[in-house]
Structure 1
Amino acid sequence: MPWTLEDYPSSFKNLDKVIRKKAIDIANSMLDEGYGEDRAIPIATSQAKEWYENASENEINDYDKNGQPTKRSEEGKKYDNNPERLEEDEIVVSHEDGWAVKSRNAKQPSQVFDNKDDAIKRGREIAKNEGTKLVVYKQDGTVQKS
């Protein structure tokens, strides 16, 4: 059963209303994809806060008015279940456009940065949120640090 604006995890109660709404939406999507509540709640909280910090005022207002966290897609899940991806290390590797942050076995990076320091910072955040480690590679493909 999906969480709603009236029935949600207690850890969401102190979040700002629009951040809570976004966290509910993210957590519900993660549950749909097979993640456990114990993993979905902290990740959704972190991602909702990050979304709020980076969203424009128009995006926030639009989501506040029109976002429907309990409305599910008629076609079902968009992705294959892949909760094991949460157990993979995050890695920072050289990329044609700069430095990429991705899960070890992911086909595509989650983000690409112009400089390595920004990629490492983001990789640390993701690894901390997921409870995994970060492995940083040099341009030549050898491990720089773990």
Structure 2
Amino acid sequence: MPWSMKDYPASLKNLEKPVRKKAIDITNAMIDEGYEEGRAIPIATSKAKEWAENASTDEIDDFLTHDDETERDAETERDADPSSGSGPELMNKAEHVIKHKKGWAVKAEGAKRVSEIKDTKKEAIERAKEIAAHKGTEVIVHLADGSVQRKIKTGS
């Protein structure tokens, strides 16, 4: 069951709203990728706090403007149309390289599903760079535990 701002783990209740919302998003994505909930929540909380420390005020404000109702409507539309998932709302989002049960995956930030799965991390990074360069965004490479290893800037 995906968590939301109205239904989330008790361990997130004392976090500030943007950090809680980001932690929920990260937790849901990690659970979708096969992580155990008990492992995903603390990793997501740590990553959300790190994001909040490094995010600009505009980025946080923009993130908060996408409330749960909007997310639910978008998910419903994507679920109704399986061909969706790479819509225009993902064009300005970074590409993430994450561990996947079948290898290494490329996934746009905020996407419900991975776009590609590669056998090696190197292959996934190269593909993520291609996609990010086309979109004018960056690549965020993660370690197998979900933590950020490095960020790669790309040119448009």
Report the equivalent of 1:26: 26
Other structure's SS at 1:40 match: helix
Describe the shift of the 1:81–1:53 C-alpha distance in structure 2 as closer, same or farther (beyond 3 A): closer
* Aligned-partner Cα distance in 2 for 1:42–1:51: 14
Post-superposition offset of 1:46: 0.9
Post-superposition offset of 1:83: 5.2
Q: Which protein has the larger Cα radius of gyration, Structure 1 or Structure 2?
A: 1
* Aligned-partner Cα distance in 1 for 2:30–2:61: 24
Asked whether the 8 Å contact 1:4–1:70 carries over to 2, the reply is: no
* Aligned-partner Cα distance in 2 for 1:80–1:53: 22
Report the equivalent of 1:82: 100
Post-superposition offset of 1:82: 2.1
> How do 1:1-146 and structure 2 match up within 5 A?
1-68=1-68, 71=72, 72=75, 73-74=78-79, 75=82, 82=100, 106=121, 107=123, 130=145
* Aligned-partner Cα distance in 2 for 1:20–1:3: 11
Post-superposition offset of 1:67: 4.9
Question: Share of identical aligned residues, percent?
Answer: 48
The residue type paired with residue 13 of structure 1 is K
* Aligned-partner Cα distance in 2 for 1:42–1:84: 24
Other structure's SS at 2:15 match: coil
Describe the shift of the 1:37–1:60 C-alpha distance in structure 2 as closer, same or farther (beyond 3 A): same
Asked whether the 8 Å contact 1:25–1:70 carries over to 2, the reply is: no
The residue type paired with residue 50 of structure 1 is E
Describe the shift of the 1:6–1:67 C-alpha distance in structure 2 as closer, same or farther (beyond 3 A): closer
* Aligned-partner Cα distance in 1 for 2:31–2:40: 7
* Aligned-partner Cα distance in 1 for 2:29–2:5: 15
Root mean square deviation of aligned Cα: 3.8
Q: Give the number of equivalent residue pairs.
A: 100
What TM-score results when the alignment is normalised by the length of structure 2? 0.49
